[in-house]
């Protein structure tokens, strides 16, 4: 570490009368006349820094170097480090973010230099340099809330802005690129939460929204205003309502502007310093800052100037310190280059082009100190002794910090300035302002367990007289019952007698915590009053008779009917017909209640006996029955009511019978062909069976034929002539399609045919 060269200036022999100081005192001074200069410029800009232990530092640019000074004791300024630039540069600029400093120069090839300040006051380290993206920049500014660094007047882009992201890796910034600006080249920039106030020189003041660098929005501008010169630099007050800006042009005033409406920026007041008036009135401001309601300005020949902004319409000079007392006029650019008024101590540091570093006090001005950095927890809502399921909102007592981390029982839980705490345990906040980290005291939250609040499963339906009570099985200290959302007064037992239907809930309280049960719907149903009229038939014949059930008059009721041991049931409202045998259970229903009707209804339907017909030549005989009726071609044959009938003409014949149970049935139809061949068949005892035929057709004959064949009803041979065999097992008819066929017999005295049907 290079030891400091300390010069304390107590007086200057060439100090002009009245050009010394007002309400300000010199606390310390550092100057090295042996440092190289760039033209007439030995020193340029300045910035300040304070570490976690409260030590204060000044970062000062000289033509060749970047200097880091420990100014904690202004009377004993010590140089903690210096770093040489690539060349002598008139312009150097610095800003800090956390424990890093960022430096640029407007001459040479230094680009962006990043210094680690965390080991001050022992040492400073250059940890990063980017001179590939750009080499020169007039100014640098850091939007601390967003962690974004901006370059002003750089050779990264001629008429626009270049930006880096510091938030994720401040020691190695990420270049975000360059973007053109509608206002063109800008000399300096102030940014807060992405809103940038850019000094565009002769093009005035422009305000942009830089949130999305790919879609920069112009929010307002001021390109014409009183005493307009080269718009050089600006600074925003704390609430964002007023902006001070300086025109770096001799004889122009500082401007205080109302920026509460960026679409209509309004100049509130013009004010200036003129320490040489009335002899000279051509003073020139440089870099303005605002702390509280004071503007602190580096004012070239007039040194450090402080103005009171408490009356924005009439700004007044409050204090000054002339760092360049040898000034005889306002020609050229000499004196105070930069000033930094934000040190926690309230001291003001300034850099003079010729005389180096000044540490000053504002004797009659009381700057409000920045809030002491601390990590403490406030209970924003809820309590430390809640119930399970409650939420206690814990909040950091200090806003605007960069990092908030919440620990539960020593383990990381969440980030952010507030925490919705729902678990019992020990909570602690670890916070950082980007420079320092603090841990709060631990606080303990106790969330008592909630009692259970259990009711029977909903809905609870009761059908009958005198409904029972409902009860909760949950133990508690007290109980409150609710019906349809209304508290039931006087009902504070573990059970409740039901008197009406509705939505019931119970609140169970124990150890100061309570739970409300789910809703229980209680339904007091109306029992059915079944009204059945059953019509029984005279006979019980399957397929024709029905048992009719009539329930008309049973209002608001319906019924189900099912066979015994069956899961399936039919639902009916007014009428139902039973057509099949079985034991039937009938149940009557209202909306919620049911009533089985006893006894079960027993129904037996007789299956009708279907008659069969045998044909002997042209005589038809029915199987036995109680009554007969013969039909030809579907028409009833009058008088043909016997068990047999002799067909006198060809046709389709059938018989309907009534069996012993009184059930009617119809036989299948058979074809009878009455032809001249019938005489041949007469007396030969020909019988075919079964008719209709199945897979085989059997024949009997008292006089056997010589041969047999089968013809289709259209006369086509389907089974060829076959000789008669007394013991044959029938003719195979399994391959014949269903329909009517002729069986033809060959005798010595001729042929004859009988018809059969194939099913």
d(CA 550, CA 579): 15
Q: Is the peptide bond before 211 cis (omega within 30 degrees of 0)?
A: no
393 pLDDT above the threshold of 60: yes
Q: How confident is the model at residue 224 (pLDDT cuts 50, 70, 90)?
A: very high
Q: How far apart are CA 655 and CA 667, in angstroms?
A: 5
> Tens of pLDDT along 637-685?
998 999 999 887 778 899 999 999 999 999 998 887 765 466 777 788 8
Cis peptide before 754 (omega within 30 of 0): no
Question: What is the rounded average pLDDT of the residues 59-64?
Answer: 98
Q: Are 268 and 258 in contact (CB under 8 A)?
A: yes
Where in the chain are all domains bearing CATH 2.60.40.10?
377-448, 460-525
Question: Residue 40 gets which letter from DSSP?
Answer: T
Give the tens place of pLDDT for each residue, 2-36: 333 333 333 333 343 444 899 999 999 999 999 99
Q: What is the rounded distance in angstroms from the CA atom of residue 30 to the CA atom of residue 58? A: 11
- Residue 412: strand, helix, or coil: strand
What pLDDT sits at residue 17?
41
Compare 124 and 708 and report the one with higher pLDDT.
124
Percentage with pLDDT > 70 across the chain: 96
For domain 533-603, the CATH architecture is Sandwich (2.60)
Nearest-5° Cα angle at 64, 62 to 65: 65
First-to-last C-alpha distance (Å) of the chain: 122
Strands 356-362 and 385-387: unpaired
**Rounded alpha-carbon distances, angstroms, from residue 56 to 53, 75, 78:** 9, 13, 11
> CATH second-level architecture of 377-448?
Sandwich (2.60)
Cβ neighbours of 134 (radius 10 Å): 20
Cβ atoms of 618 and 549 within 8 Å: the answer is no
pLDDT tens column, 194-221: 999 999 999 999 999 999 999 999 999 9
Would you state the pLDDT for residue 373? Answer: 81
Q: Which CATH superfamily is domain 21-362 in?
A: YVTN repeat-like/Quinoprotein amine dehydrogenase (2.130.10.10)
Indicate the pairing of strand 385-387 with strand 443-448: parallel
Please report the pLDDT score of residue 2 as a whole number: 37
Give the tokens for residue 636.
């009833």
Tokens 């605007």, residue?
400
Q: How far is CA 159 from the centre of its chain?
A: 42
Least confident among 232-241, 575-584, 695-704: 695-704
Separation CA 536–CA 572 (nearest Å): 18
Cα three-residue angle 461-465-466, rounded to 5 degrees: 85
Instruction: Among 173-182, 517-526, 552-561, 613-622, name the most confident range.
Output: 173-182
At residue 76, φ and ψ (nearest 5 deg) are -135, 70
Q: With the CA atoms of 578, 584, 587 and 588 taken in that order, what torsion angle do they form, in degrees rounded to the nearest 10? A: 30
Output the average pLDDT for the chain: 91
Region(s) of the chain under CATH 2.130.10.10? 21-362
pTM over 0.95: no
3 state SS of 487: strand
460-525 topology per CATH: Immunoglobulin-like (2.60.40)
Distances (CA, A) of 512 to 331, 454, 595, 667: 81, 18, 48, 89
Q: Kindly indicate the confidence band of residue 728, based on its pLDDT and cuts at 50, 70 and 90.
A: low
The per-residue pLDDT for 370 is 79
């Amino acid at each position: 570490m290079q030891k400091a060269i300390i010069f304390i200036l107590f007086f200057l022999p060439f100090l002009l009368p009245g050009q010394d100081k007002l309400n300000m005192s010199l606390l310390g001074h550092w100057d090295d006349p042996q440092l190289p200069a760039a033209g007439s410029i030995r020193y340029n800009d300045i910035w300040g820094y304070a570490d976690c232990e409260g030590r204060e530092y000044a970062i000062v640019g000289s033509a060749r170097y970047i200097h880091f000074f420990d100014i904690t004791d202004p009377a004993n300024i010590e140089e903690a480090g210096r770093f040489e630039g690539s060349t002598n540069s008139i312009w150097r600029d610095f800003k800090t973010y956390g424990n890093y400093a960022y430096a640029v120069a407007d001459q040479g090839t230094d680009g962006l230099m990043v210094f680690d300040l965390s080991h001050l006051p022992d040492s400073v380290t250059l940890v990063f340099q980017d001179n590939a993206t750009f080499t020169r920049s007039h100014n640098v500014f850091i939007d601390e809330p967003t962690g974004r660094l901006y370059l002003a007047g750089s050779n990264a882009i001629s008429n626009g802005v270049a930006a880096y992201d510091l938030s994720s890796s401040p020691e190695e910034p990420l270049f975000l690129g360059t973007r053109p600006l509608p206002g063109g080249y800008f000399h300096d920039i102030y940014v807060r939460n992405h809103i940038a106030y850019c000094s565009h020189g002769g093009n005035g003041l422009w305000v942009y929204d830089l949130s999305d660098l790919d879609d920069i929005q112009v929010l307002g501008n001021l390109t014409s205003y009183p005493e307009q010169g080269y718009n050089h630099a600006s600074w925003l007050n704390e609430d964002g309502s007023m902006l001070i800006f300086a025109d770096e042009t001799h004889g122009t005033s500082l401007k205080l502007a109302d920026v509460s409406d960026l679409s209509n920026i309004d100049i509130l007041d013009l004010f200036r310093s003129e320490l040489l008036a009335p002899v000279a009135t051509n003073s020139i401001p440089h870099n303005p800052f605002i702390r509280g309601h004071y503007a602190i300005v580096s004012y070239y020949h007039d040194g450090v100037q402080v103005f009171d902004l408490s009356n924005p319409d009439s700004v007044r000079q409050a204090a000054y310190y002339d760092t360049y007392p040898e000034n005889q006029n306002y020609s050229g650019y000499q004196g105070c280059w930069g000033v930094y008024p934000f040190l926690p101590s309230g001291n003001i540091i300034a850099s003079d082009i010729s005389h180096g570093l000044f540490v000053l006090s504002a004797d009659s001005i009381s700057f409000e100190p920045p809030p002491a950095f601390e990590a403490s927890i406030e209970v924003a809502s809820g309590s430390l002794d809640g119930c399970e399921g409650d939420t206690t909102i814990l909040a950091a007592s200090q806003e605007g910090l960069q990092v908030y981390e919440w620990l539960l029982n020593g383990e990381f839980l969440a980030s952010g300035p507030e925490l919705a705490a729902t678990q019992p345990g020990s909570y602690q906040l670890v916070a950082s302002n980007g420079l320092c980290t603090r841990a709060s005291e631990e606080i303990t939250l106790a969330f008592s367990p909630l009692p259970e609040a259990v009711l029977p499963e909903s809905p609870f339906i009761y059908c009958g007289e005198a409904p029972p009570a409902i009860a909760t099985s949950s133990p508690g200290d007290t109980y409150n019952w609710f019906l349809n959302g209304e508290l039931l007064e006087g009902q504070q037992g573990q059970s409740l007698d039901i008197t009406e239907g509705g939505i019931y809930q119970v609140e169970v309280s124990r150890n100061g915590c309570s739970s409300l049960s789910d809703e229980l719907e209680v339904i007091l149903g109306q029992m059915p009053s079944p009204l059945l009229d059953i019509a029984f038939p005279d006979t019980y014949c399957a397929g024709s008779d029905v048992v009719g059930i009539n329930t008309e008059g049973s209002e608001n009721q319906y019924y189900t009917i099912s066979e015994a041991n069956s899961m399936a049931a039919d639902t009916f409202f007014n009428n139902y017909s039973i057509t099949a045998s079985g034991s039937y259970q009938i149940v009557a229903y209202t909306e919620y209640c049911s009533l089985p009707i006893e006894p079960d209804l027993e129904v037996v339907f007789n299956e009708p006996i279907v008659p069969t017909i045998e044909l002997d030549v042209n005589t038809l005989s029915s199987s036995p029955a109680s009554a007969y009726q013969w039909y030809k071609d579907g028409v009833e044959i009058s008088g043909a009511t016997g068990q047999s009938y002799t067909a006198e003409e060809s046709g389709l014949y059938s018989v309907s019978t009534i069996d012993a149970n009184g059930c009617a049935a119809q036989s299948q139809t058979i074809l009878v062909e009455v032809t001249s061949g019938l005489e041949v068949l007469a007396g030969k005892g020909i019988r075919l069976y079964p008719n209709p035929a199945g897979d085989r057709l059997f024949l009997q004959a008292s006089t056997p034929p010589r041969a047999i064949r089968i013809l289709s009803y259209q006369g086509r041979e389907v089974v060829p002539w076959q000789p008669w065999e007394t013991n044959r097992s029938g003719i195979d008819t399994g391959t014949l399609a269903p329909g009517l066929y002729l069986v033809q017999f060959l005798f010595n005295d001729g042929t004859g045919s009988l018809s059969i049907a194939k099913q």
